[in-house]
Amino acid sequence: MKKSLLDKLNKLSSFLKKLDSLAVAYSGGLDSTFLLFMAKENVKRKVIAVTSVSKIHKKREIRDSEIMTKEIGIEHIKIDTDELSMKDFIRNDPERCYFCKKNLFKRIYEIAKEHGISHIAHGANLDDMNDFRPGNRAAEEMNILSPLVYAGLRKDEIREISKEIGIRIWNKPASPCLATRIPYGKKITEKAIEMIDKAEEFLEDLGFKEVRVRYYGELAKIEVPENMLTYVIDKRNEISKKLKEIGFSFISLDIDGFFSGKLNLVLK
């Protein structure tokens, strides 16, 4: 392992060793999996993983969180954070993630207290600090630890270290909550969330590892990496048929390709 990565890994380990117990807000993604793995190795007494299983989270991600906590050997607690009942969330303004994370961390605090856990952490990394992430403000306000940020770890570094230490999902693409597929200002509904989840799971099964289905009412806009654009065209009849069965009337392809945080462009 490169010295620069080893130094950051040691910094992370030293930070975690100072904690007697920790609850990790666990999504099933790479960052929180890496944090959970390192916490299991270094936190003194007890580590638990807490995962939201509400409708805004992909069913596949929830299944992955169950599998990974078993592999790591961590107690896994699942909670329904019921964001779709929150007016501040479903109105879907740019502060949506703030209200979501505030609600999540409040619930994790309750669980941590019940289990005698002293600290709570989430898997934010240094790259997350460069994007519009209101959820990070909620974490700061509620004294949620960000060990990966403290250690100065970026996403590509987390991938590299995870591969070296044997974390199976080291190359897993990021997959934020399904509400991020709905443009700001358009109300978040259970129906929209279900349609997005079904559409993305279908596309993933077709071989698209990174894919977003942006929800514009009757229109679904598909985003995939640039090198996969032609594959969408090749599969267009199959894709169109399935997405119309799901409930979309019109299917489009974003020719700019996928990149994270695209819907935040309207804020700049």
SS3 per residue for 140-177: HHCCCECHHHHCCCCHHHHHHHHHHHCCCCCCCCCCCC
Residue 91 has pLDDT above 80, yes or no: yes
Alpha-carbon distance of 53 to 77, in angstroms, equals 10
Lowest mean pLDDT, pick from 35-39, 68-72, 156-160, 257-261: 257-261
Residue 132 has pLDDT above 90, yes or no: no
**Torsion, Cα of 57, 60, 61, 64 (10° steps):** 150
Residues 203-247 have pLDDT tens digits of: 999 999 999 999 999 999 999 999 999 999 999 999 999 999 999
Q: What is the pLDDT of residue 268?
A: 60
Q: What is the pLDDT of residue 131?
A: 75
Mean per-residue pLDDT of the chain: 95
Q: Which residues pair with 215 in a beta bridge?
A: 220
Cβ-based neighbour number of residue 153 at 10 Å: 24
Q: Is the Cβ–Cβ distance between 123 and 35 less than 8 Å?
A: yes
Q: What is the pLDDT of residue 234?
A: 96
Place of tokens 């929800």: 215
Q: Is the Cβ–Cβ distance between 196 and 181 less than 8 Å?
A: yes
Residue 1 has pLDDT above 90, yes or no: no
Q: Give the predicted TM-score (pTM) of the model.
A: 0.92
Q: Tell me which DSSP letter residue 83 carries.
A: G
State the average pLDDT over residues 170-193: 95
Residues 18-63 have pLDDT tens digits of: 999 999 999 999 999 999 999 999 999 999 999 999 999 999 999 9
CA neighbor of 23 nearest in space, from 123, 101, 102: 123
Q: What is the pLDDT of residue 175?
A: 87
**Torsion, Cα of 242, 245, 247, 249 (10° steps):** 70
Residues 182-196 have pLDDT tens digits of: 999 999 999 999 999
